[in-house]
């Protein structure tokens, strides 16, 4: 359900006449609106941060207008409801005064009126007026009703009209009262809502007062049974409200526990000094936010206060993360500039034939490269390819010069075999991203190791590639992620092959061939579009063909992106 639906719901409540009984429903709608607003704002916050991390521009969705619209309706609802409550309280106080006045009148009739006819007429007037008077404050209903019932009891037993009532009337009244007590007991165990339960109780109590007297010897027992049944229902109502208060209290305590956990976690904020630390903590914060959503609401004021505290802590975390990313971007740019200087030095000496001194200088540059650390995801891979190509120009030339394998080739072979053995027994981390990082690291190490003898080059490459392919297959990648990762791994594997130029050229040719085939297919499909007549059936055929054209265009786009990843393209 979106935010507009919640606005529609609160507008629907606002349109109703009696708002007094709708407070809880409005509060639930408000809670759902706030929860969804928190989630949407959190998603926008994450998207904005992700865009910032990737150097992209992201225009965040602003929910201010919907928020203001909702709370304007909600405040109008509360204002109207409060006015109705105040009016209802005023009416209940007026009704209470009227009933107290009737009780005084009834006492005067009992104490002073000696004429039965006049007394009975006065009773009828009092009772008819009593029935017409509306509700009184809940806390006053039971004592007022008891006093009125007590006076009615005295009235009916004191006046002589009881002498004229027949035994049949007593028996009938007894049966009616017993039936009503039974209904009260049934009402106690019913599954009706609290609102319906109270309404039915009031109706039965009014019916009780409508029933005439019973024999004095039956009355005491019946009266006790009646008030026990009534009190048991009031106890159930009070238990429900107490249970609700406990639930609200428990919800607040659960939310305070999350706030405390977040406060505790943020005490270590200054110790998070790398991307992995921040990603771990981000996952933790998002999990706390997910738990928060599962907890019900508490009392309105307490709920607002604890949410404000929780939101402020989350904002503190994400602001700190943003500052960290900004600092890291600056540091990565500085490392990138230093690595560009190393690339220039490597390129300058890459064509040198001073094999020993140049090799030492390049190895020195490689050590400096490693010591500088990563230039960040935006720069590192591109810079590394340029640096490695400059180094390879020299080392390939030196290898061709020396021809047969020497001590360096033997050392490289030993290092690559050790790396293959490590790869063969490797158990990848369960986290997919960590696993991919590990495989890329091993591929980079393999590529960084110098060349081996001509006889061992192909077998060493194939052995390493075989195990790498098995590990990539075990990751069970899917969709675009699988296509991208496997193609990047394939290219890096080609770069470590003794036939890298041949493999890379074959890869280019294959991609171009696929692009040509898709373009021809698109041309055929576009020509076919012109043959379809304008009819209902033809429109469907044209739509199907257009889908195929769009799909082919998307594939061409992906293939051209791959083509750009191939070195020297």
pLDDT at position 45: 85
Mean pLDDT, range 368-389, rounded to an integer: 78
pLDDT digits (tens, 9 = 90+) for 82-105: 887 787 778 778 888 888 888 888
pLDDT for res 142: 86
* DSSP structure string for 283-334: HHHHHHHHHHHHS----HHHHHHHHHHHHHHHHHHHHHHHHHHHHHHHHHHH
Determine how many CB atoms are found less than 10 A away from the CB of residue 551: 13
Average pLDDT of 270-293?
Answer: 81
Judge whether 445 and 492 are in contact, CB under 8 Å. Answer: no
> How confident is the model over 450-471, as a mean pLDDT?
78
Is residue 156 within 8 Å of residue 162, measured between CB atoms?
A: yes
Residue of 11, 7, 13, 12 lying closest to 63 (CA atoms): 7
Tokens 């006819």 sit at which residue?
Answer: 117
pLDDT of residue 569: 45
Q: Mean pLDDT of all residues in the chain?
A: 80
The one-character DSSP state at 62 is P
* Residue 382 reports pLDDT greater than 60: yes
Determine the average pLDDT of the residues in 274-299.
82
Q: What is the pLDDT of residue 176?
A: 92
CB atoms closer than 10 angstroms to residue 511: 19
Question: Is residue 344 over pLDDT 80?
Answer: yes
Percent residues over pLDDT 70 in the chain: 88
Residues 6+ apart with CB under 8 A from 102: 126, 129, 130, 133, 148
pTM of the predicted model, to two decimals?
0.29
| pLDDT, average across residues 359-377 | 80
Return the minimum-mean-pLDDT range out of 73-82, 151-160, 219-228.
151-160
Residues 6+ apart with CB under 8 A from 417: 460
Token pair, residue 315, equals 């904002």
What is the C-alpha separation between 458 and 530, in angstroms, rounded? 53
pLDDT score of 425 more than 80? yes
Q: Would you list the domain boundaries of the chain?
A: 1-139, 329-499, 500-569
Lowest-confidence range among 46-50, 159-163, 562-566? 159-163
What are the tens digits of pLDDT across the range 13-71?
Answer: 888 877 777 888 888 888 988 888 898 888 888 888 888 888 888 788 888 888 888 88
């Amino acid at each position: 359900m979106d935010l507009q639906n919640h606005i529609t719901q609160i507008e629907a409540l606002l349109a109703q006449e009696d708002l007094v009984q709708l407070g809880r429903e409005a509060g639930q709608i408000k809670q759902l609106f706030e929860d969804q607003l928190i989630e949407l704002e959190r998603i926008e916050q994450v998207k904005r941060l992700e865009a910032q991390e990737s150097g992209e521009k992201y225009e965040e969705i602003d929910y201010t207008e919907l928020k203001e619209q909702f709370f304007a309706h909600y405040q109008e609802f509360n204002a109207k409801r409060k006015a109705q409550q105040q009016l209802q309280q005023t009416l209940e106080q007026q009704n209470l005064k009227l009933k107290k006045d009737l009780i005084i009148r009834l006492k005067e009739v009992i104490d002073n009126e000696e004429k039965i006819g006049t007394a009975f007429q006065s009773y009828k007037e009092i009772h008819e007026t009593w029935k017409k008077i509306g509700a009184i404050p809940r806390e006053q209903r039971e004592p007022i009703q008891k006093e009125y019932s007590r006076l009615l009891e005295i009235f009916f037993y004191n006046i002589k009209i009881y002498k004229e009532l027949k035994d049949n009337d007593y028996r009938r009244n007894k049966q009616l009262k017993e039936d009503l007590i039974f209904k009260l007991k049934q009402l106690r165990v019913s599954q009706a809502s609290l609102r319906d339960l109270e309404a039915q109780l009031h109706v039965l109590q009014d019916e009780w007062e409508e029933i005439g007297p019973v024999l004095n010897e039956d009355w005491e027992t019946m009266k006790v049974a009646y008030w026990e049944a009534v009190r048991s229902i009031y106890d159930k109502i009070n238990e429900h409200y107490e249970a609700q208060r406990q639930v609200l209290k428990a919800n607040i305590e659960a939310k305070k526990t999350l706030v405390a956990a977040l406060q505790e976690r943020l005490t270590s904020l200054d110790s998070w000094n790398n991307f992995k630390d921040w990603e771990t903590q981000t996952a933790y914060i998002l999990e706390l936010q997910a738990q928060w959503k599962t907890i019900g609401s508490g009392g309105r004021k307490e709920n607002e206060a604890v949410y404000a505290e929780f939101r402020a802590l989350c904002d503190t975390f994400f602001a700190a993360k943003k500052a960290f990313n900004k600092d890291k971007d600056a540091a990565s740019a500085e490392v990138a500039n230093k690595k560009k200087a190393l690339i220039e030095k490597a390129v300058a000496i890459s064509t040198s034939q001073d094999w020993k001194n140049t090799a030492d200088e390049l190895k020195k540059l490689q050590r400096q490269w490693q010591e500088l650390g990563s230039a960040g995801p935006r720069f590192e891979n591109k810079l590394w390819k340029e640096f490695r190509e400059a180094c390879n120009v020299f080392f390939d030339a030196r290898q061709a010069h020396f021809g047969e394998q020497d001590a360096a080739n033997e050392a490289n072979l030993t290092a690559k075999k050790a790396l293959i053995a490590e790869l063969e027994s490797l158990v990848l981390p369960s986290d997919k991203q960590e696993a991919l990082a590990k495989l890329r690291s091993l591929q980079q190490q393999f590529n960084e190791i110098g060349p081996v003898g001509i006889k061992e080059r192909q077998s060493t490459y194939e052995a390493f590639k075989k195990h790498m392919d098995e590990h990539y297959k075990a990751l069970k990648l899917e969709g675009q992620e699988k296509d991208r990762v496997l193609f990047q791994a394939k290219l890096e594997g080609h770069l470590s092959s003794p036939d890298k130029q041949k493999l890379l050229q074959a890869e280019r040719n294959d991609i171009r061939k696929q692009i040509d085939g898709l373009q021809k297919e698109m041309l055929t499909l576009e020509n076919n579009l012109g043959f379809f007549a304008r009819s209902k059936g033809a429109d469907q055929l044209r739509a199907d063909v257009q889908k195929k054209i769009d799909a082919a265009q998307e594939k061409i786009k992906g293939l051209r992106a791959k083509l750009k990843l191939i070195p020297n393209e």
